[in-house]
Amino acid sequence: MSIKDISGFQRTLGNADAKGWSQKVDNDFGGFKIETPGVGESGKAKSFGEFLQDSLGKVNDMQHEANTAMEKLASGESQNLHETLMAVEKADISFRTMNQVRTKVLDAYREIMKMQI
Amino acid sequence: MDLLSSLRISSSGLAAQRKRMEAHSSNIANAQTTRTAEGGPYRRKEVVFGSEPARESFSEILEGELAENAQTVHATEVVHSDKVIFKHDPSHPDANAEGYVAMPDINPMVEMANMIEAQRAYESNVTAINTTKQMAMKTLEIGR
Amino acid sequence: MDVNDKTLKALTTALNFREMRQELISSNVANANTPGYKAKKMDFEEALARALDVDGQMQMNVSDGRHHTVGNGGFNNLEPEIYDNPNGVVTENGNTVDVEAEMATMAENKLMYDALVQLINKKMGIMKYAINSEK
């Protein structure tokens, strides 16, 4: 590998830079909004609390979707066994993940409270 | 419980088909019988099926939602055919004065077809029993 | 997530109905040679869908505020529809049972029964997990 080729790498790395990439995407895709974490509704940086609340909302939505899918299957409205099971599995996994996050957050909180000022 | 009732219905089907097999295999075995205990040639046997409500007591019928729609089957009677065919065979020990022997009117092909049908019906009842049993076992898995 | 929630009731009700359907199928199969026996069919999907009203599409007029409207989850009074199978081929002794069709219906019924049991287990499982998570 000769020194000449590093410029190619530099360009590639430049393209891979997160900020530059998100700007490029916004420019390239026009109206297609990508949700970048860290930008809240007011345009300022989103707090961790808001982020958690959004996630909880999404987990709740998935639970509702799973419930709807199960009801549709039970009443024969939908014949898609695989879609129902996928929806249920997604809700299941997201719930367990959220529970783990909750545990970790509590642990972190206790850790902080243990600190002697 | 509906599943126990299903088992009873399917086992009644098994019993009925078995009686049918007995009748037709007896027919095949006695296709050439000219002497029976009642005198005269063997008479062809056939079973007639009848159905009746599966629930045993009337209160069960009223309570169950299927009411009299679920029926067990019984081999209600065994019918003896009176038909006799006459074969000309003067050398037969049971030949009458003109040399004709009274033989049972049994066509082995018909009897075989009936036996095959009975076997298939038996198998479908066995499948029904297996499915019912699997459903009951699956129910026990709730909460495990 | 409540132990009495609508979905769990719907799943249990569907299980009950499928059990009944299995009994009806067993009866049809056992009577496949009975003269004059008419094959029976059972429908419960519509009644259940009405009680669930999943999409909020169905409407019903109620005269009294205490009557169940659509979608309230009044699962206790659901009645299935049981009727003679119109697709039966009449044989010469008056029997209309098609054993192969009954076998196919039985297989589908069993599969859905298993799926419902599994869904119930999943729901209960997540509730138990939530209860059991320590700290």
* Beta pairing partners, C40: C84
Inter-CA distances, C119 with A52, B137, B142, C11, Å: 28, 16, 10, 8
- Mean pLDDT, rounded, for A34-55: 70
Distance (Å) from the alpha carbon of A74 to chain C's nearest alpha carbon:
6
C54: tokens are: 């999943």
Inter-CA distances, A54 with A46, A50, A62, B63, C126, Å: 11, 6, 12, 51, 21
Task: Choose among A94, B128, A99: nearest CA to C99.
Answer: B128
Q: Do B2 and C124 touch (CB under 8 A)?
A: no
Q: Do A103 and C133 touch (CB under 8 A)?
A: yes
Q: Do B138 and C114 touch (CB under 8 A)?
A: yes
Task: Choose among A101, A47, A63, B82: nearest CA to C2.
Answer: A63
Q: How far is Cα A59 from Cα A52, in angstroms, rounded to an integer?
A: 10
Per-residue model confidence (pLDDT) at position C115: 94
- Asked whether the predicted pLDDT for residue A31 surpasses 90, the reply is no
Per-residue model confidence (pLDDT) at position A49: 83
> Which residue in this structure is represented by tokens 């198998």?
B123
pLDDT tens sequence across C73-128: 567 778 888 888 888 888 888 899 999 999 999 999 999 999 999 999 999 999 89
Phi, psi of B126 (to 5 degrees): -65, -40
Of B3, B9, B124, the CB nearest to C99: B124
Q: How far is Cα A82 from Cα A117, in angstroms, rounded to an integer?
A: 55
DSSP B135: H
> Which residue in this structure is represented by tokens 């009642």?
B38
pTM over 0.80: no
pLDDT tens sequence across B57-97: 665 555 566 767 888 888 888 888 888 888 888 888 888 88
pLDDT tens sequence across A61-93: 999 999 999 999 998 888 889 999 999 999 999
B83: tokens are: 């038909």
Q: How far is Cα B53 from Cα B56, in angstroms, rounded to an integer?
A: 8
